[in-house]
């Protein structure tokens, strides 16, 4: 960590600027908030042993989300992580998340109407009823893992309903989604790649089988309408159709499962704020927003510098991979008062919550995630007001991508 060491050419970073340290994955995993808190006042970026540069400050993260010099990574990321081909690679090669310009617009636009806030608001009563029914299911059991019995199921059932996937398939497609999404974290080793690839194959085969079934027997659901429209327009290749649906399944299940668990855990850890929510349900949207800030389920967004980028005098060279750290930005003392204090009454969160990114790639599922998180929390405060943590905060891994969570043990 002398600030001048060479990083691998594979990571797309020829040489770190002088004085910028390279942190190891182990250091970042051990205490991401603490590590970022140490470096953020000193430097706008730090080196990452695998992922190039980590951008730390809220203003820079926000600007670079929209800056055309910082582009989506296309297939650079899997290539640098030892995945040069295959079905895992295809998720990057054919998906909207990693695409730029016109290709990105073509892949994203067929889905924007379905996930628009106005359409999603219409689902709120159904999501509320589903959340309440889930709480009533486990309430008599006394002690449960809230992740398995609740926070995973709300988004899984909802995305199944939107896309027209059978509820009986939930255990299968959610497990595959969680397995595949691990590729976006730094918690996998080269020897794990065959398992990730197997999960990517199985998830794509599952989606392909559902699509084939809809083609031969259309229903009145999103997939049938989508196939009719996409088929008529001929806009997406069949691989692209499958990969966009895979990205919606991953985005639609894993991120919100983790966020739902973290918000419940944080509120139960702060009993006076839990009590305030019970008294005043009007605080629920703010509690959701503050939980997403304080302990975000998505730690970063990946980009590549197409030109050299100057951040307060530190030059990120052209060709470098960049990790825009939402995890760091959301605790930036320059943007938030007492950033390490969890406070559902804070008034300094911007209207567009930074956790959902910015620019062309801003999360397509934001409205859905908010409704699921708000209704999930609302049902808990109404039907399980005496809920308490029995095992402390859930174990959380990951400083980037979709973070990973262990069980959340609660008692009613
Ligand atoms: C708390 C929950 C969620 C968080 C924190 C979150 C966060 C994000 C972020 C930060 C991005 C931008 C990534 C980038 O710029 O590289 C993104 C994109 C995306 N999200 Fe979400 N997300 C959440 C829920 C959802 C849901 C429910 C869906 C399902 C509909 C979804 C689907 C997607 C997709 C498909 C993209 C790619 C959009 C594009 O590239 O144009 N997300 N999300």
C-alpha 282/C-alpha 345 separation (Å) is 11
pLDDT below 50 — which residues of the chain?
A: 1-14
Does the beta carbon of 260 sit less than 6 angstroms from any atom of ligand 1? no
**Residue nearest to ligand 1 atom 7, measured at CA:** 356
What is the model's pLDDT at position 234?
Answer: 65
Structural domain includes residue 4: no
What is the model's pLDDT at position 314?
Answer: 92
**Residue nearest to ligand 1 atom 32, measured at CA:** 251
Structural domain includes residue 266: yes
What is the model's pLDDT at position 28?
Answer: 94
Residue 182: which CATH number?
Answer: 1.10.630.10
- Tell which one of 244, 251, 377 to mutate to probe ligand 1, the residue whose CB is within 8 A of the most ligand atoms: 251
**Six token digits for residue 346:** 């804070």
320 neighbors 305 (Cβ within 8 angstroms) = yes
What is the model's pLDDT at position 231?
Answer: 62
Instruction: Tell me the CA–centroid distance for residue 46 and ligand 1, in Å.
Output: 25
Structural domain includes residue 3: no
Structural domain includes residue 77: yes
**Residue nearest to ligand 1 atom 15, measured at CA:** 361
Q: Are strands 22-23 and 70-71 parallel, antiparallel or unpaired?
A: unpaired
**Which ligand 1 atom is the nearest neighbour of the CA of 95?**
40
374 neighbors 368 (Cβ within 8 angstroms) = no
- The count of other CB atoms within 10 Å of the CB of residue 376 is 29
Q: Provide the residue range defining the domain that includes 13.
A: 9-411
Structural domain includes residue 377: yes
What is the model's pLDDT at position 232?
Answer: 56
Structural domain includes residue 1: no
Structural domain includes residue 299: yes
CA Rg value for the chain: 21
- Tell which one of 95, 127, 226, 255 to mutate to probe ligand 1, the residue whose CB is within 8 A of the most ligand atoms: 255
What is the model's pLDDT at position 228?
Answer: 80
- Tell which one of 98, 162, 354, 365 to mutate to probe ligand 1, the residue whose CB is within 8 A of the most ligand atoms: 365
Closest to 342 measured CA to CA, from 297, 287, 300:
287
Distances in Å between the alpha carbon of 68 and those of 25, 60, 171?
Answer: 28, 13, 39
Structural domain includes residue 2: no
Structural domain total, the chain? 1
């Amino acid at each position: 960590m002398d600030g001048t060491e060479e990083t691998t050419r594979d990571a797309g970073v020829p040489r770190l600027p002088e004085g910028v340290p390279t942190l190891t994955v182990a250091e970042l995993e051990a205490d991401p908030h603490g590590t970022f808190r140490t470096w953020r006042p000193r430097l706008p970026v730090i080196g990452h042993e695998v992922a190039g540069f980590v951008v730390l400050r809220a203003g820079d993260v926000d600007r670079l989300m929209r800056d055309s010099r910082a582009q989506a990574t296309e297939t650079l990321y899997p290539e640098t992580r030892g995945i040069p081909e295959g079905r895992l690679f295809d998720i990057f090669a054919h998906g909207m998340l990693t695409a730029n310009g016109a290709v990105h617009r073509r892949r994203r636009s067929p889905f924007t109407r379905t996930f628009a806030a106005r359409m999603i608001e219409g689902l709120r009563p159904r999501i509320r009823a589903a959340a309440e029914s889930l709480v009533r299911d486990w309430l008599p059991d006394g002690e449960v893992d809230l992740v398995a019995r609740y926070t995973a199921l709300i988004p899984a059932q909802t995305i199944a309903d939107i896309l027209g996937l059978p509820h009986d398939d939930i255990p299968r497609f959610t497990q595959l989604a969680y397995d595949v999404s691990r590729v976006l974290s730094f918690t996998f080793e080269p020897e794990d790649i065959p398992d990730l690839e197997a999960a990517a194959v199985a998830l794509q085969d599952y989606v392909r089988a559902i699509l084939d079934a809809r083609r031969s027997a259309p229903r009145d659901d999103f997939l049938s309408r989508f196939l009719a429209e996409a088929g008529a327009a001929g806009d997406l290749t069949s691989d692209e159709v499958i990969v966009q649906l895979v990205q919606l399944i991953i985005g639609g299940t894993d991120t919100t499962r983790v966020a739902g668990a973290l918000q419940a855990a944080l509120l139960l850890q702060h009993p006076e704020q839990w009590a305030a929510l019970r008294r005043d349900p009007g605080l629920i949207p703010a509690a959701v927003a503050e939980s997403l800030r304080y302990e975000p389920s998505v730690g970063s967004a990946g980009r590549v510098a197409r030109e050299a980028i100057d951040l307060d005098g530190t030059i990120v060279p052209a060709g470098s991979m960049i990790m825009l750290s939402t995890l760091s930005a959301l605790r930036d003392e320059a943007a938030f008062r007492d950033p390490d204090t969890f406070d559902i009454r804070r008034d300094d969160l911007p209207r567009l919550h930074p956790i959902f990114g910015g620019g062309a790639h801003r999360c397509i599922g934001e409205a859905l995630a908010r409704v699921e998180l708000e209704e999930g929390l609302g049902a808990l405060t109404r039907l399980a007001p005496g809920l308490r943590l029995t095992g402390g905060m859930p174990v959380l891994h990951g400083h980037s991508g979709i973070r990973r969570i262990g069980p959340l043990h609660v008692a009613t």
